[in-house]
Amino acid sequence: MSLSAGDKLGPYEILGPLGAGGMGEVYRARDTKLKREVALKALPEAFARDPDRMARFQREAEVLASLNHPNIAHIYGVEECAFVMELVEGETLTQIVARGPLPVETALDYAKQMADALEAAHEKGVVHRDVKPANVMLTAAGLIKVLDFGLAAVMQGPASSAGDRTNSPTLTMRATEMGVIMGTAGYMSPEQAAGKAVDKRADIWSFGVVLWEMLTGQRLFEGETMSHTLADVLRAPIEFDRLPKKTPAAIRELVKRCLDRDVKTRLRDIGEARVAIQRWLANPVSAEIAPARPRMGWVAIAVAVVAVAFAAAIALVHFREEPPVAETARFEIAPPPSAQFTCCLSISPDGRKIVFTAQKSTDARPNLWVRALDAVEAKVLVQNVTGGLTLPDPFWSPDSQFVAISTNGKLKKVEASGGPAQTICDTPPGFVGGAWNPDGVIITGGTGGLIRVPAAGGEPSPLTTLDPSRQERDHIGPAFLPDGRHFLYLRRSDRGQNNGIYVGSLDAKPEQQDTRRLLAADLPAVYAASPGASTGHILFLRENTLMAQPFDAGKMALAGDAVPVGESVQGHGAFAVSTTGTLIYRTGAAGANRWLTWFDRQGKTLGQLGDPADYGASLALSPDGTRVASTRGPSATSDIWLVDSRGVSSRFTFDPASDREPIWSPDGTRIIFASNRAGHYDLYQKPANLAGDDALVLKSDEDKYPASWSRDGHFLIFWAVNPITHADLWVLPEPAGGPGDHQPVPWLRTEFNERDGRFSPDGHWIAYLSDESGRYEVYVRPFMPGNSPAGKWQVSKDGASPLTPRWRSDGKELFFSNTTGILMAVEVSTTPVFHSGNPEPSFRLPGVWDVTGDGKRFVGPAEAAGDSAPVTIKVALNWAARLTPAPR
Does 21 lie in the same domain as 97? no
| Residue 739: predicted pLDDT | 59
pLDDT > 60? residue 340: yes
Does 765 lie in the same domain as 635? yes
Question: Per-residue b/e over 260-285, b at no fewer than 16 CB within 10 Å?
Answer: beebeebbebbbbbbebbbbbbbbbe
| Segments forming the whole domain that contains residue 642 | 594-862
What gap in Å lies between CA 69 and CA 109, rounded to an integer? 17
| Residue 773: predicted pLDDT | 86
pLDDT > 80? residue 678: yes
DSSP for 539-582, written as a single string: EEEETTEEEEEEEETTTTEE-S--EEEESSB-STT-EEE-TTSE
- The enclosing domain of 677 has a CATH number of 2.120.10.30
pLDDT > 90? residue 267: yes
What gap in Å lies between CA 179 and CA 174, rounded to an integer? 10
Distances (CA, A) of 884 to 107, 561, 564, 565: 11, 10, 11, 11
Do the domain assignments include residue 179? yes
Short-list 459, 457, 446, CA closest to 492: 446
Does 874 lie in the same domain as 738? no
pLDDT band at 701 (very low <50, low <70, confident <90, very high): confident
pLDDT > 60? residue 684: yes
The better pLDDT of the pair 790, 516 is held by 516
| Residue 19: predicted pLDDT | 73
Do the domain assignments include residue 370? yes
| Residue 164: predicted pLDDT | 39
| Residue 302: predicted pLDDT | 41
| Residue 68: predicted pLDDT | 76
Does 400 lie in the same domain as 339? yes
| Residue 437: predicted pLDDT | 95
Do the domain assignments include residue 357? yes
pLDDT > 50? residue 289: no
Do the domain assignments include residue 571? no
pLDDT band at 812 (very low <50, low <70, confident <90, very high): very high
Does 95 lie in the same domain as 61? no
pLDDT band at 50 (very low <50, low <70, confident <90, very high): low
* Span between the terminal Cα atoms of the chain, in Å: 38
| Residue 321: predicted pLDDT | 42
Q: What is the pLDDT of residues 765-779, one digit of tens each?
A: 999 999 888 778 999
Radius of gyration of the chain (CA): 31
Q: What is the pLDDT of residues 613-642, one digit of tens each?
A: 878 788 999 999 999 999 987 666 789 999
pLDDT band at 494 (very low <50, low <70, confident <90, very high): low
pTM above 0.85, yes or no: no
Domain boundary residue among 87, 110, 136?
A: 87
Strands (E), 22-163: 24-31, 36-42, 75-79, 82-86, 91-92, 136-138, 144-146
CB-CB contact of 738 with 765 (8 Å): no
Short-list 532, 520, 540, CA closest to 479: 540
What gap in Å lies between CA 565 and CA 574, rounded to an integer? 13
482-502: average pLDDT: 88
CB-CB contact of 154 with 60 (8 Å): yes
pLDDT > 50? residue 254: yes
What gap in Å lies between CA 139 and CA 142, rounded to an integer? 5
Does 199 lie in the same domain as 66? no
Do the domain assignments include residue 618? yes
Q: What is the pLDDT of residues 9-34, one digit of tens each?
A: 888 899 988 876 545 688 899 988 87
Does 209 lie in the same domain as 81? no
Q: What is the pLDDT of residues 137-193, one digit of tens each?
A: 998 767 899 987 754 444 333 333 333 334 433 333 333 333 334 457 788 898 887
Does 97 lie in the same domain as 44? no
Total tally of structural domains belonging to the chain? 4
Domain boundary residue among 37, 69, 87?
A: 87
pLDDT band at 805 (very low <50, low <70, confident <90, very high): very high
Do the domain assignments include residue 489? no
The set of residues, in sequence order, having a beta carbon less than 8 Å from that of 14 and lying 6+ positions away, is: 3, 4, 5, 6, 7, 8, 27, 28, 29, 40
CB-CB contact of 207 with 115 (8 Å): yes
Mean of per-residue pLDDT scores for the chain:
82
Q: What is the pLDDT of residues 643-674, one digit of tens each?
A: 998 888 899 998 878 899 999 999 999 999 99
What gap in Å lies between CA 458 and CA 455, rounded to an integer? 8
Share of the chain above pLDDT 70, in %: 82
Q: What is the pLDDT of residues 854-872, one digit of tens each?
A: 999 999 987 654 444 567 8
- The enclosing domain of 440 has a CATH number of 2.120.10
What gap in Å lies between CA 181 and CA 548, rounded to an integer? 42
Q: What is the pLDDT of residues 109-124, one digit of tens each?
A: 999 999 999 998 888 8
Domain boundary residue among 87, 109, 133?
A: 87
DSSP for 682-719, written as a single string: EEEEEETTS-S--EEEE--SSEEEEEEE-TTSSEEEEE
Does 419 lie in the same domain as 270? no
CB-CB contact of 230 with 183 (8 Å): no
pLDDT > 90? residue 387: no
pLDDT > 50? residue 311: no
The better pLDDT of the pair 52, 256 is held by 256
Do the domain assignments include residue 532? no
What gap in Å lies between CA 699 and CA 697, rounded to an integer? 7
Share of the chain above pLDDT 90, in %: 42
Does 854 lie in the same domain as 840? yes
Does 39 lie in the same domain as 116? no
Does 99 lie in the same domain as 61? no
Do the domain assignments include residue 580? no
CB-CB contact of 404 with 368 (8 Å): no
| Residue 613: predicted pLDDT | 80
- The enclosing domain of 53 has a CATH number of 3.30.200.20
Instruction: Give the containing element (helix H, strand E) for 13.
Output: strand 12-21
The better pLDDT of the pair 266, 235 is held by 266
